[in-house]
């Protein structure tokens, strides 16, 4: 169930050349802006597009290798795909959609329907079995698409922007559920997304793709802490703090508290703080910021006229200040400072 790929595809101005691997049970997020080549990578893995050079290997079997002339077409590749707009067949019921893969592989009608019903139950949409896809909400359609992809028990699961078509309110619930199903899937999973929060919440490992190349690879926390370029820093260099919302206060895992401007949610959540929103002070600041704490500098990273400062303290995070401010504050490793974040600069999303 391991996935190993070296994909080289020239596409117009984009020269795609990426190495990728995913272990059984591992969820890898391909994170990058639109047009970086993420979907093309997914299409190559799924067998809908052949690589120009390189090779793709699923569970030790080579499925695409131009040098030896091997190309296993999509229908014999055992890749489950959840497409961006789900692509449910409108002329079939939800149940027939989920049974489609089994029927295509020659399973008889009765047992295909039985298995499809079980998969619908697993994603919690059993009662929608006879519904037409056009009548489904975005969240329901996503769950049905996932059940359809999983029903033929693929070795590899590929998801293309699985949350992009959902509105903000359903997104959180669907994301949590999706994570649950991905954890339960035994094969390798690749999720394409342009949203760092999705990558953080869904994936074990993140691969950053920029104009056709992998620019960094690691866990989200590693990458966020040590972005290798300002591009990556901008993309994932946000501080994601896990904790939970209780009565309008965000309780950080580990004990600290954050005052936030959101008070209508409760439960496990992620607080998103941009490094630019963290201000640093030589002495305890007085004024509007509601969150202040003492922090020690553990790392200083100069990027042009900006300095990224990694802080340790009750809430470890990264601050970004101008180089002028950094020299005024005499910032260096080991220096103790006060960090402050305004409550309105913290956005909280349920995890």
Q: Which of 32, 37, 47, 237 binds other proteins (CB under 8 A)?
A: 47
Q: Which CB atom, from 75 or from 253, has the smaller least distance to other proteins?
A: 75
Q: How many residues bind other proteins (CB under 8 A)?
A: 27
- Using rule CB under 8 A, residue 89 touches other proteins: yes
Q: Which of 51, 58, 83, 308 binds other proteins (CB under 8 A)?
A: 83
Q: How would you class 86 by CB atoms within 10 Å of its CB: exposed for 0-12, middle for 13-18, buried for 19 or more?
A: buried
What residues numbered 140-169 form the site for other proteins, per CB under 8 A?
Answer: 148-149, 152
Whether the Cβ atoms of residue 341 and residue 313 lie closer than 8 Å to each other: no
Smallest distance, Å, CB 182 to other proteins? 18
Smallest distance, Å, CB 150 to other proteins? 11
Q: Which CB atom, from 133 or from 289, has the smaller least distance to other proteins?
A: 133
Residue 313, Ramachandran bin (φ over 0: left; ψ between -120 and 50: alpha; else beta):
left
Q: Which CB atom, from 22 or from 98, has the smaller least distance to other proteins?
A: 98
Smallest distance, Å, CB 324 to other proteins? 52
Smallest distance, Å, CB 86 to other proteins? 8
Collect all residues with Cβ–Cβ distance below 8 Å to 282 and sequence separation of at least 6: 329, 337, 338
- Using rule CB under 8 A, residue 46 touches other proteins: yes
- Using rule CB under 8 A, residue 100 touches other proteins: yes
Whether the Cβ atoms of residue 307 and residue 322 lie closer than 8 Å to each other: yes
Largest distance between two CA atoms of the chain: 75
Task: Find the helix packing angle between 94-104 and 138-151, rounded to 10°.
Answer: 20
Task: Find the helix packing angle between 109-122 and 138-151, rounded to 10°.
Answer: 130
- Using rule CB under 8 A, residue 134 touches other proteins: yes
Q: Which of 10, 53, 70, 105 binds other proteins (CB under 8 A)?
A: 105
- Using rule CB under 8 A, residue 81 touches other proteins: yes
Distance CA 260, CA 121 (A): 38
Collect all residues with Cβ–Cβ distance below 8 Å to 215 and sequence separation of at least 6: 208, 209, 228, 229, 231, 232
Whether the Cβ atoms of residue 188 and residue 28 lie closer than 8 Å to each other: yes
Reading the block at residue 227, the tokens are 């972005």
Q: Which CB atom, from 88 or from 202, has the smaller least distance to other proteins?
A: 88
Q: Which of 10, 70, 104, 229 binds other proteins (CB under 8 A)?
A: 104
- Only one of the segments 70-78, 171-179, 196-204, 285-293 lies at the binding site for other proteins (rule: CB under 8 A); that segment is 70-78
Smallest distance, Å, CB 6 to other proteins? 21
Continuous H helices in 92-249: 94-104, 109-122, 138-151, 168-184, 196-202, 220-225, 230-236
Q: Which CB atom, from 151 or from 280, has the smaller least distance to other proteins?
A: 151
Whether the Cβ atoms of residue 329 and residue 350 lie closer than 8 Å to each other: no
Residues of this chain that interact with other proteins (CB under 8 A) are 46-48, 73-77, 79-81, 83, 85, 87-91, 100-101, 104-105, 133-134, 148-149, 152
């Amino acid at each position: 169930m391991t996935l190993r790929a070296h994909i080289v595809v020239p596409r117009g101005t984009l020269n795609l050349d990426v190495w990728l691997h995913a272990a059984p049970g591992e969820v890898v997020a391909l994170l990058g802006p639109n047009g970086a080549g993420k979907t093309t990578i997914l299409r190559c893995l799924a067998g809908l597009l052949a690589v120009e050079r390189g090779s793709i290997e699923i569970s030790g079997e080579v499925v695409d290798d131009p040098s030896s002339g091997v190309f296993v077409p999509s229908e014999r590749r055992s890749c489950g795909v959840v497409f961006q707009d789900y692509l449910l067949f409108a002329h079939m019921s939800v149940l027939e959609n989920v049974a489609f893969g089994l029927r295509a592989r020659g399973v008889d009608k009765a047992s295909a329907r039985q298995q499809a019903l079980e998969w619908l139950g697993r994603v919690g949409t059993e009662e929608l079995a006879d519904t037409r896809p056009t009548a489904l909400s975005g969240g329901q359609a996503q769950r049905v698409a996932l059940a359809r992809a999983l029903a033929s028990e693929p070795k590899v699961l590929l998801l293309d922007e699985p949350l992009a078509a959902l509105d903000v309110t359903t997104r959180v619930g669907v994301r949590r559920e999706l994570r649950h199903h991905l954890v339960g899937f035994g094969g390798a999973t690749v999720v394409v997304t342009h949203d760092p929060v999705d990558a953080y919440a869904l994936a074990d490992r993140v691969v950053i793709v920029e104009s056709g190349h992998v620019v960094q690879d690691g866990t989200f926390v590693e990458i966020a802490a040590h972005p290798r370029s300002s591009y990556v820093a901008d993309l994932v260099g946000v501080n994601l703090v896990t904790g939970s919302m209780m009565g309008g206060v965000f309780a950080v895992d580990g004990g600290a508290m954050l005052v936030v401007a959101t008070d209508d949610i409760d439960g496990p959540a992620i607080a998103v703080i941009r490094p630019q929103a963290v201000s640093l002070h030589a002495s305890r600041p007085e004024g509007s910021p509601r969150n202040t704490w003492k922090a020690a500098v553990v790392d200083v990273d100069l990027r042009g006229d900006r300095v990224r400062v990694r802080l340790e303290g009750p809430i470890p995070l990264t601050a970004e200040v101008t180089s002028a401010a950094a020299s005024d504050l005499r910032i260096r490793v080991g220096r103790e400072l006060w960090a402050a974040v305004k409550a309105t600069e913290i956005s909280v999303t349920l995890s």
